Amino acid sequence: MKRTVRQASAVILLVFISLLALQPNDAAAQTMFLKPKKSDELRHQNILIMTVRSGQHALFMSELQIESREINAALRQSKHVPATEIDFYPDIDITMQSTEAIHFRLERSGQLWNEAKAEKTILPDKLAKKLVGLAEGLRTQHYGKLLSWQQATGLLPKKSMFSVTELETGLTFNVQRRAGSDHADVQPLMKEDSRIMKQIYNGKWSWKRKAVLIHSGDTWIAASMNGMPHGGDGIPENGFSGHFCIHFLGSSTHKSDSPDPAHQMMVHKAAGQIKPYFESAQPNVLARSFVEAMYHQDHELLLPLAEQMPKEKLASFLNVMESLVSIREQIPPKSKGMARSDELGDALTTEIRLPVSIHQLNKPRQNVVYTFMFKRESVQSPWHILDIIK
């Protein structure tokens, strides 16, 4: 499948500072090209290529090319210190094109981490902050805006037409909103749109959620869709019998007044906001999100949920996930055992028992109970999954 790139290229030399000062929404400036004068020094400069994509295997990415004397000088003079782990942007990759390609992860403080060598490159604070600004600007360009359902439904009224871009593949198709009061009920416009949508789901319709970008006018909106035709059909001969659902921040399903955790997880993924979403979530949402991440076989969603779990336990769940046919929770969200935020008070630990039905390849379906063990450092701190006992 062909890789899809949204490119924001810049060749920066004497005026490197002007690009580094870009604000995230200054898209026009991000596509500015400056022609350098050729010299031996310029020809031997390293080129940095910054990319953002939602996962390591995502084909859809945004890219920024940087050529700068300032960066080259900083890299030549920088110190290198051992570092086996850092707090880095999981969706940002920086490649230095020299005699060979060297890959770095960008620390949230702006330092560069060579994961292969377990080594951190220490840059001047001013330059590190500017790299963070570039990264945040590129992320803003790549992801959709996190708009509430009330805002989204105003931009996408019934009978409106818009495009849907899937965040992993970059495949895009056109739809029309037909109905929906708590979310958007939409249909592909033509047979070709239905074909592209089915390609996103590997040729088989599915209820699984996908993080998507909704393009209406000049706005890219973060959203989540399912891939199963159901209900009423208002566009004949489009190769899609029924409609499918698109959810936004805070929207709910036909069967519940509460937001669906899988859809909300994908909405935040489409906005590039999965880390703050998990950090603000209550234990019941985190437990259900863990099961949904397994069901969707999404490593990039499961890993931040399990970052404080024992490594051997995480490895066992990843192994199960690879062989999953399905895994579903077996109790409603408000059933006994699912602690609500208003019940936790000042507690710093809690546990949640979540019955699930799990079906692995070549194995009979099983009903098991996952007991999630949670902890937080203070009342204001995020909840973390410490362990899962089954």
> What domains are defined for the chain?
4-142 (no CATH), 144-267 (2.30.110), 273-390 (3.10.450)
Find the mean pLDDT for residues 7-23: 39
Check whether 15 has a pLDDT greater than 70: no
Find the mean pLDDT for residues 180-195: 95
Residue-level pLDDT at 234? 84
Check whether 338 has a pLDDT greater than 70: no
Name the band, by pLDDT with cuts 50, 70 and 90, for residue 124.
Answer: very high
C-alpha gyration radius of the chain: 23
* Rounded CA separation 173/244 (Å): 13
Enumerate the H helices of the chain as residue ranges.
16-20, 27-30, 40-43, 69-77, 125-142, 149-155, 191-200, 261-270, 274-280, 283-295, 299-305, 311-322, 341-344
Find the mean pLDDT for residues 239-250: 96
Find the mean pLDDT for residues 345-371: 95
Higher pLDDT, 257 or 149: 149
* Rounded CA separation 136/142 (Å): 10
Report the share of the chain in percent with pLDDT over 70: 84
Residue-level pLDDT at 341? 55
Q: Output the CA–CA distances (angstroms, integers) from residue 240 to 205, 229, 243, 309, 328, in the order listed.
A: 10, 7, 7, 43, 27
At 279-289, the pLDDT tens digits run 999 999 999 99
Residue-level pLDDT at 340? 56
At 32-82, the pLDDT tens digits run 333 334 444 444 467 899 999 999 899 999 999 988 888 888 888 889 999
Find the mean pLDDT for residues 216-228: 94
